[in-house]
Chain A
C-alpha cells in the first residue's frame, strides 16, 4: 500500500512538472544560433546568408564595372570626335589654300573684300587717305561702306604706328629689311612703319588666302593684289619670290 502510494505520488509529481514546463516555457527565440547559421531546417542548407551576400556584392560590382565601361566608352568617343574634328580642321586649312598652309596659325586675318557690320575697335588708328578715312588695326585696313566696314588692300605710302605681332622679318640680298604680314610689306620709317611695294627678289614663306594662280611661261605664279610671286626652292626651302610689284 505504501509503495503504491509512493509510486502514484511520484508519477503525479513528474507529470505535473512536465506539464508546468510546457505551459510556462518561453517562445522559441528569434535569431537563435540555428538561425545564425541559416537554420538546419532551411532549404539552402547552412550557407544561404553568405550566398545572398555574395550575390549582392557581385551585383554591385557588376553595376560599378558597367559604369566604368560606360565612362571608358565616353572617353574613347570623345577622343575619336576630337581627333576627327582636328583632322577635318587641318584638312580644311590645307584645302583652302596650299600656300597659306604655311601662314602663321591662329592669327586674325581677313582678306580684302571681307565685310563686317562691326566697326574696328576703339584702339584702331584712323588714317586720312586720299580724302577717305581708313581704319588700321592689327595689320588690317578697313574702310567704311555705308553702315558696314570692308577690308581693303593696304594703301602704299600709308604710315602706321605699330605692326601686328605675327609680322615676320624678311630681307633681300642687299640686307634691306622689311616687315611682312599676309601680303603687306612694311618698312621702318623713324619709329613708325610705312606700307611699301616690295623689291623684286624678296622672298616670303607664305601667301595669304585669296591669291590668284597664273600660268607664266609654263610655270605657276601667284598674284596677291598687284604683287606677283613665283614659287622657288631656295636652299631647299619653298619660298615665294617677288617677281613683279
Chain B
C-alpha cells in the first residue's frame, strides 16, 4: 500500500512540475526569435547610446496610383540628433520636400516647395516632444523611432520576428530580420560588423494598394559635432508662417 501511494505521489509531483515548467515557458515566450531580437536590440542600443549622430539615406515610396499601376517615388533624407533634446530632419524628393527642427523649446516644420512653415511650443525632451506631436498634431517626423532617446517603442507592437539570413546592402554584409505587426510588416538589415541599421522596408498591409516605404542609409556619423545652430530654425526669405491644426485639444 505505501508503495502504491508513493507512486501516485511521485507521479503527481512530476506532472505538476511539467505543468509548471510549461506555464513558465509560455509566460517567457517572446514573439521574436531570440537571434533576431538580439541583433535588433544591439542596433537600437548602439543608436540610443550615441550622444549625437548624423545619418543620410535614400528613400523610396512605392504606391498604387489611379488605374492600379504601382509607381515608386524617390527622396533623400538627412537627420541629426543630439540627445536628449535636439533633432533635425530633412527630406528632398518627388513627393515631399520639407524639414523639421526641434531646439529643446520649439518644434518647426517647413514645407520647402510651398515655402510655408509652422512652429509649435514643444516639451523639453525629444521623447516627450514626439509623444505630444503624435497626440496633438497627428503626425511625426520621418523615421521618428530613430530620433527617440529610448527604444521603448521598438518591440511594443511586434507580433512575430525572425532572422531571415545574410544579405548584402551597398557592399556591406548584413543580417536581415523580418517582423510583423497588426498594420505593417517590416524588415531591417543590420550591419554584421558594427551594429547599425543599413536598410529598412515597411509594407503598410492594411492600406489600399499596400504602399511600401524603404530607406537605405548611406552614411552614419557617430562622431559629429553638432552645434545649436544645426537645430535652430531660420525662416527662408519670403516664407509664409502658417498654423498647425491641432487634432486633439
Q: Which A residues fall within an 8 A CB radius of B? A: 94, 98-99, 101-102, 219-220, 230-238, 241
Contacts and interface: CB of A to CB of B under 8 A. Distances in A.
Contact-residue size bin, chain B (C-beta under 8 Å from the other chain): 10 to 19
Given A220-B240, A231-B240, A233-B109, A238 B114 contact: yes
B243 A219 contact: yes
B80 to A, nearest CB: 19
Contacts, number: 52
B107 to A, nearest CB: 11
15 contacts: A219-B241, A220-B241, A231-B114, A231-B116, A231-B240, A232-B118, A232-B242, A232-B245, A233-B244, A235-B138, A235-B139, A235-B247, A236-B109, A236-B140, A238-B114
B227 interface: no
B113 A234 contact: no
Given A94-B113, A233-B118, A238-B111, 18 more contacts: A98-B115, A98-B116, A219-B242, A219-B243, A220-B240, A220-B242, A232-B242, A232-B244, A232-B245, A233-B109, A233-B111, A233-B244, A234-B138, A235-B138, A235-B245, A236-B137, A236-B139, A238-B242
Given A233-B118, A235-B137, A236-B139, A101 B113 contact: yes
Contacts of A237: 139
A94 B242 CA distance: 19
B40 to A, nearest CB: 27
Interface string B39-70: 00000000000000000000000000000000
Main secondary structure of the interface of A (DSSP, over half): strand
Contacts of A219: 241-243
A194 B207 CA distance: 31
B243 A232 contact: yes
A219 B116 CA distance: 11
Interface string B224-249: 00000000000000001111110100
A231 B245 CA distance: 10
B243 A233 contact: yes
A99 B114 contact: yes
A231 B113 CA distance: 13
A21 B111 CA distance: 107
Contacts of B114: 98-99, 101-102, 231, 238
A99 B241 CA distance: 14
Nearest to B111: A238
Contacts of A236: 109, 137-140
Contacts of A235: 137-139, 245, 247
CB-CB nearest 8 A-B residue pairs: A236-B139, A231-B242, A235-B138, A238-B111, A234-B245, A220-B240, A235-B139, A233-B244
Contacts of A233: 109, 111, 118, 137, 242-245
Contacts of B115: 98
A238 B116 contact: yes
Interface in B80-137: 109, 111, 113-116, 118, 137
A101 B95 CA distance: 12
Contacts of A230: 242
Nearest to B133: A236
B64 to A, nearest CB: 16
A102 B113 CA distance: 8
A235 B140 CA distance: 9
B220 to A, nearest CB: 25
Nearest to A99: B114
A235 B244 CA distance: 8
A14 B241 CA distance: 124
B55 to A, nearest CB: 20
Contacts of A231: 114, 116, 240, 242
Nearest to A206: B114
A219 B240 CA distance: 8
B72 to A, nearest CB: 17
Contacts of B245: 232-235, 241
Nearest to B118: A233
A236 B137 CA distance: 7
A237 B118 CA distance: 11
